Amino acid sequence: MQLPQRNLLLSVLGGILLWAAWPTSPLTLLLFVGWIPLLRIVENSNNWKKLLGYTYIHMVIWNILTTWWVAKASVEGGLSAFFANSLIMCLPWMLYYFTKKYVKGFIGNLSIIAYWLVFEHIHHNWDLSWPWLTLGNAFATHPNWVQWYEYTGTSGGSLWVLLSNVFVFHILQLYRLEGRSMRYFKNAAAWVALLLIPILFSFFIKNNLTLLHNKYNVVVVQPNIDPYQKFDAGMAQAQLQKLISLSQKEIDANTALVVWPETAIPSQTDEDHIKENFFLLPLWQFLKDHPQVNLLTGLEGFRQFNNKISRYAKPFRDSSAYYEMYNSAVLLDSVNVQIYHKSKLVPGVEVLPGFLGFMAPLFEKFGGTGGGYARDTSAKNLQTHNSSFNITPAICYESIYGDYLADFNRKGSNLICIITNDGWWGNTQGYKQHMNYARLRAIESRKWLARSANTGISCFIDPYGNIVQQLPWNVDGAIKQTVAAYTTETFYTKYGDVISKIFCFVAAALLLFAVTMKFRRKKATA
């Protein structure tokens, strides 16, 4: 087989391997060898443009097969995301190719680890972020393998995967050069140890979690309302009554918190006058009837301003005033109102980066928003009125940002609450992956997690990533769980994503070294 055909076959195979390893597939172990085809392509390449083509094919296949369900909400938007994200994912491989040209041996081979980890870090922290395919997420269905995420977060899992692939590639090279030599067997044994030691370490981790209390229960509600109809005129009142009715079936004297999903209150609400909103009178009566209860609910809110206070502020049609829109989490009791505005917004759908402002009409055509939601600029915990829980609120997409939620957790949180609406994607892998990623947030923080999803999966997850109760997809109902409030701070909570920060310096040093070697070689041949 000629080299171009072989490289094309390898690029297709590589994308399929990564897809086959992704949750909720049982073939997770394929991830430890899934990058081998692409590593082989780099080894075969002497032209960066051709390498970019093969790498792009690999990434497109991985993106589409793994997250094709994104297109259920918007075909055009989904395709735009697939092709744009795939191109961005090629960058660390181009840097790897460049580095290997000028830095030979062990250091050059390891450079892909640094570049990919830095790419994942950046992809968590800019307005076009899409960390869904962070390699460490792939272990979400195997929490017993990664209990050490309380130290490393998902970047530790990504490092594990990358080390394995580079190691296997090195072993295969040894086999081609030396056959079944002693060095080959020693390296193979070391690779097996690399796979097993982190898993075994997970089983030996012992936690002495500091308990604040274990006397209150939490009720999670799943109303199962079609997301494509929930914002229709005349639907809001019926939805509110359904949420109240489902909640009342489970509330008892020990219930401290009820959790409703994202945008459970779908009517646009002036957040400065929530208590005067006539539509919400049944909600306030519900809280008055149950004075011990705090309610965490999603809300589509807005606020009015006399001038344009941010780039997200939009002018009223018939007024000189401005307003901002928010995707909010609101904590209510019979007296108090606390509000958090979603900060990690879905690119194209909820926010458009400033440098892409000229594309706003196109994004709106695809079902997104040109102006975007405004956001909170710092972590903001929500405290229940009876001090039963200090809540880390995560609205939908935010639950895949471990380092971001650590900011909330280090402010004294003792419970993570995720409110989401995964129904946009239908009965696909999307909502299943999203729910399982939440298990990693529980491990990282060693906190209980309550998850309310409009159409499912709503559940409780313990501090070790185990699902304790759940409501399946496409049913309505409510579940109740006594939840312990733990105040323990993990290493990850205290210090965040240390691994990625270290590798940012490593990658910069490698790139600088490669550039230096290039100029030295050029000078030597001049």
Domain ranges of the chain: 3-207+497-525, 211-298+379-495
What pLDDT does 244 receive? Answer: 97
Q: Distance between CA 391 and CA 412 in Å, rounded?
A: 9
Predicted confidence (pLDDT) per residue in 421-431, tens digit: 999 899 999 99
Write out the DSSP string of 229-257: TTTSTT-HHHHHHHHHHHHHTT--TTEEE
- What's the whole-number average pLDDT of the chain? 92
Q: How confident is the model at residue 526 (pLDDT cuts 50, 70, 90)?
A: low
**225: nearest Cα among 236, 216, 217:** 236
Q: Flag whether pLDDT at 468 surpasses 50.
A: yes
- Which two three-digit tokens encode residue 372? 């975007």
Q: Distance between CA 166 and CA 164 in Å, rounded?
A: 6
Q: Flag whether pLDDT at 360 surpasses 80.
A: no
Q: Flag whether pLDDT at 350 surpasses 80.
A: no
Tell me if 324 sits within 8 A of 374, measured CB to CB: yes
What pLDDT does 368 receive? Answer: 43
Q: Distance between CA 456 and CA 473 in Å, rounded?
A: 4
What percent of the chain is modeled with pLDDT above 90? 77
Quick one: CATH architecture of 211-298+379-495?
4-Layer Sandwich (3.60)
The answer for residues whose C-beta is within 8 angstroms of residue 238's C-beta and 6 or more apart is: none
- pTM of this prediction? 0.94
Number of C-alpha atoms within 13 angstroms, CB side, residue 101? 18
